[in-house]
């Protein structure tokens, strides 16, 4: 996606105050919802599938650490630093560390791991993980490549 298309997408997301407010609210609340559901699933796994608890805890942790390490090594700038605009929410100029998206990778690996244990909850979590990635792009915090790489890394950790 070139600069003009990306900026027009960001403009569309923020041109209506209600839409902007909704996107920023969802961008903040969805990771919290995913985290709470994850903790509940860890507790449920402790009682229902204690043998699988290590997998449910370890893979997301390793995925998070890997993505964090990649971000520190690569130091890719965020779209708002490259294109010089103010994103819809969560603006930290000069922060860098855009690739891959840590929010997206964490949401995706948690959803995939939960899907293995509880398909219904996992399916809902997968939709939430897709929403997190989309919101990271629409709010202007990540490039599409950041989000796609995050999904790929989460999938890789899930199948290993």
* Nearest residue to 103 (alpha-carbon basis) of 153, 55, 39: 153
pLDDT per residue as tens, the chain (160 positions):
788 988 899 889 999 999 999 999 999 999 999 999 999 999 999 998 899 999 999 999 999 999 999 999 999 999 988 888 888 887 777 677 899 999 999 999 999 999 999 999 999 999 999 999 999 999 999 999 999 999 999 999 999 8
Q: For the chain, report the end-to-end CA distance as a whole number of angstroms.
A: 31
On the CB side of 114, how many CA atoms lie within 13 Å of its CA? Answer: 27
- Smallest CA-to-CA distance from 153 within 105, 113, 112 is with 105
Would you put residue 153 in left (φ > 0), alpha (ψ -120 to 50) or beta?
alpha
What is the Cα–Cα distance from 89 to 83, expressed in whole angstroms? 16
| CA neighbor of 157 nearest in space, from 120, 117, 111 | 111
User: How is residue 101 written in tokens?
Assistant: 């998206």
Q: What angle do CA 42, 35, 136 make, to 5 degrees?
A: 145
Tokens read off for 89 = 């929410």
Please tell me the pTM assigned to this model: 0.92
């Amino acid at each position: 996606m070139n600069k003009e298309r990306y900026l027009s997408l960001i403009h569309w997301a923020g041109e209506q105050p209600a839409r902007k407010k909704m996107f920023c609210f969802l961008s903040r609340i969805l990771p919290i919802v995913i985290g709470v559901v994850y903790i509940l699933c860890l507790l449920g796994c402790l009682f229902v599938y204690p043998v699988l608890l290590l997998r449910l805890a370890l893979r997301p942790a390793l995925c998070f650490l890997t993505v964090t390490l990649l971000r520190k090594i690569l130091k890719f700038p965020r779209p708002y630093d490259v294109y010089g605009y103010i994103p819809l929410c969560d603006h930290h100029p000069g922060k860098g560390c855009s690739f891959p998206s840590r929010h997206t990778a964490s949401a995706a690996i948690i959803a995939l791991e939960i899907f293995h244990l509880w398909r219904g909850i996992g399916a809902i979590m997968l939709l939430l993980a897709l929403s997190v990635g989309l919101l990271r792009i629409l709010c202007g915090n990540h490039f599409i490549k950041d989000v796609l790489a995050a999904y790929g890394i989460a999938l890789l950790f899930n199948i290993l």
